[in-house]
Amino acid sequence: MKSVVWIIDKNHYILKSNTAAEDLFNQSNSEIVGKKCWEIVHGTDQPIKECPLVKAGQSLQQESIELQINGRWFEVVVDPIFDSRGKLSKFIHILTDITDSKRISNKLERSEQLLANTQRLAKIGGWEWNVDQQKMYWTKELYRLHEFDPNQFETGSPDHINASLECYTPEDRPKILAAFHTCEKKGVAYDLEFEFRRSSGKKIWIRTAAEPIWKGDKVEKVVGNLMDITESKSAKGKLVAQSERIKTFFNSINDAIFVHPLKLNGFAPFVEVNDIACERYGYTYEEFMTLSAPDVTVRPDVNGHAQAGCRNELIEKKHLVFETFHIKKSGETFPVEINSNIFDQHGKPHILAVVRDITDRKEAEEVLIKSEQTFRNLFDNHAAVKFILDPGTGRIIAANKAAEAFYGWPCATLTQMNIDQINTKSLDEIKQLMSEAKKQECICFEFQHRLADSSIRDVEVFSSGVEINGQKYLHSIVHDITEQKKATKNMEELRIQNWHLKKQESLSRMAGAISHHFNNHLMAIMGNLELSLKLIERGDSPHKNLMKAMQVAQNAAKVNGLMLTYLGKNTSGKMPMDMGKVCSMTMPLLRASLPINIVLETVFPKQGPIIHGNENQIQQLVTNLVTNAAESYQKEGTIFFSLKTVSSDQIPKKHRFPVDWEPDHENYACIEIIDTGCGIEGQNIEKIFDPFFSTKTTGRGLDLPVVLGIAQNNNGVITLESEPGKGSTFRFFAPVEAQPNSP
């Protein structure tokens, strides 16, 4: 289509129009002339905002605009026309159809933008060197990679080359320049990598490549590119480092490792083995690359992956562990455990086999089997009754022949039973005791066990923890102590009878002593009374002699009271009492009565424990025991006096007085008096609580008998531990009735 040409006056009216206007706007010449251009072009009565006609009238120079009319693109160019005086007289308005050129231009622009985006994303900048013209052209991305401003260079300027060379290290500049000139003059392409410093100073790695463009036999141009390979270089370095680490790990594993492709039939040669494989089997790496799994397997036709079932299981599960025998280059065979996995390498399935030499393990297993057989023989054939118990459930895991003979159940029946079916205690109690045995807190117990005939036997059980196949159990040895318990009981009864016989002897001795004691007192009383009668006959006062007779009578009465206490006949005045307070109240009197060379150290609470007893008697007991301890020292010494609460099983069974006393409460108050004096001879321990018995030069021999009587009156017991030359420990135990309230 031809261009539309209009001659327009300075008032914007069309004066002349060519035929192209008629064709474009489908109007006749007469319809066009005389109208303003925007009425024809835009169909409006006002010019558009960027109207070139209006702008040319203002600027008095050429103005242009691109616009669409009926779906096509047009370029409007308006030139002002001046008269001979230089005044604006007319305009030439040319409207040209540029649709095709616009389409080509847009396509070219899109291509250039796509190329620029591609270069930017790929971090590649391109360049072209015109050999004949000696001109260098760069793409925008190449400027960006250098961090250069495109405006600082003239288009095609060779200065681009020198500026780019400054970004290379001094050592690399001659290399890249030589490669460039060789390509320019001889047409030899190059592809190189260098360290590169951008204009900002930031270091990167680049790959630069170039190739010649020939014109005949002469290089016309050299085209090339420059790529930022920093990330790939770093990734490659990391990959190399990772590969080295994997290789180091691969070769540091103490098991032989084999890698070979998976074949459904037959075996492919190894493609990788580690250093341990070479060392253990005696082959070099190169020799292994010519071998396959059957070459190192004993009887490969029946062992390892060659078995159909084994191969199928590996393919199905991708993992398989099995044992076989391998053979070394020397011909030596050895047992191995093979842990096989299937993995993909380069898209193909491969087998990774980790092969462990289990020679030592097999030898250890043989030793273990022999050891277990020995243990089983010792366990089954031992004369002692033995069990293996599960401490968590109480289930009987194993029982020996002696257990079968003792309990009357077959071993097969015993191993189906729980220990509470034999032990008379509850399962919870048994589990608690088994837990203690498992921790080695207590390994010896006394129980009553039930036999198959329903009879009950007293047994002593020794239990200790054992580990079998990684599981912890209890190994229990059972001794029948029924007859021993009966014998012990009989001996205890004999001991008590013997004690009572000795008591009768002491009572006979006591009767003689009391008779002698009271005869002395009666003689003194009668003598004073006779003197009093004679004094009365003479008319003198008998007061002094009567008072002496009274004092002697009172002393006799006091001894009588002590004897009643010893015999346990003085039980009056008992009530709940705080032992801590009673002991505290006794301290001033005790300290005042002790010699200055005796030190009394005390440890007891200010309150509690509470017992049901006689306060005065308890004070008398403490006083007598402390006095007895003080008399054990020839010179200076220390007495340790303490008060505490103990459980009944903490009361010593040896040297209890009375000897037939048995605890009937859970907790007991304990008064403990310790001295490090002369101690008591063993033959005298049973006698010291007899009235009037004493190894001392002083005293009446009634202090300790009174202590025993007080203990009996207060439902308690006295225990004694003594060693000649090292001292004695007296303890008084009385049942606790209640604990004091917290303050």
Q: At which residue do the structure tokens 């040669």 appear?
A: 269
**Among 93-97, 443-447, 728-732, which range has the highest average pLDDT?**
728-732
Q: Which residues have a Cβ under 8 Å from the Cβ of 402 and sit 6 or more positions away? A: 382, 383, 384, 385, 386
Cα separations in angstroms, 428 against 328, 393, 416, 420: 59, 10, 19, 9
Alpha-carbon distance of 176 to 309, in angstroms, equals: 63
In the chain, what is the greatest distance between 2 CA atoms, to the nearest angstrom?
Answer: 196
pLDDT-based confidence at 107, cuts 50/70/90?
Answer: confident
174-199 pLDDT, tens digit per residue, is: 999 999 999 999 999 999 999 999 99
The CATH architecture annotation of domain 364-480 reads 2-Layer Sandwich (3.30)
Query: Could you write out the DSSP letters of every residue in 243-269?
Result: HHHHHHHHHHSSSEEEEEE--SSS-PP
DSSP SS3 for 613: strand
For residue 569, name the pLDDT band (cuts at 50, 70, 90). low
What is the reported pLDDT for 743?
A: 39
pLDDT range class, residue 329, cuts 50, 70, 90 = very high
pLDDT value of position 465 = 84
Averaged over 74-85, what is the pLDDT? 91
Residue holding tokens 């030069």? 697
Helix, strand, or coil here: 198?
Answer: coil
pLDDT in tens, 14-26: 999 999 888 888 8
Amino acid present at 340: S
Among the listed residues 47, 21, 15, the one whose alpha carbon sits nearest the alpha carbon of residue 33: 15
- Angle at which helix 482-537 crosses helix 543-566, to 10 degrees, equals 170
CATH class for the domain made up of 4-97: alpha beta
What is 253-357's CATH number?
Answer: 3.30.450.20
- Cβ–Cβ under 8 Å, residues 735 and 664: yes
Residue 646 reports pLDDT greater than 70: yes
Domains in the chain: boundaries: 4-97, 116-233, 253-357, 364-480, 485-562, 569-738
116-233 and 253-357 agree in CATH topology = yes
CA separation for the pair 623, 382 (Å, rounded): 58
% of the chain at pLDDT higher than 70: 88
Please state the rounded mean pLDDT for residues 599-623: 89
Fold of the domain built from segment(s) 569-738: Heat Shock Protein 90 (3.30.565)
Q: What is the pLDDT of residue 567?
A: 58
Residue pair 716/737 in contact (Cβ under 8 Å)? The answer is no
Mean pLDDT (the chain) is 85
Instruction: Give me the architecture of the 116-233 domain, per CATH.
Output: 2-Layer Sandwich (3.30)
Q: Is the pLDDT of residue 698 over 60?
A: no
- Express each pLDDT in 298-321 by its tens digit: 876 655 555 656 777 888 888 988
Q: If you average pLDDT over residues 478-495, what whole number do you get?
A: 84
Average pLDDT estimate for 723-732:
94
Q: Show the 3-state SS of 418-467.
A: EHHHCECCCHHHHHHHHHHHHCCCCCEEEEEEECCCCCEEEEEEEEEEEE
Q: Is the pLDDT of residue 479 over 70?
A: yes
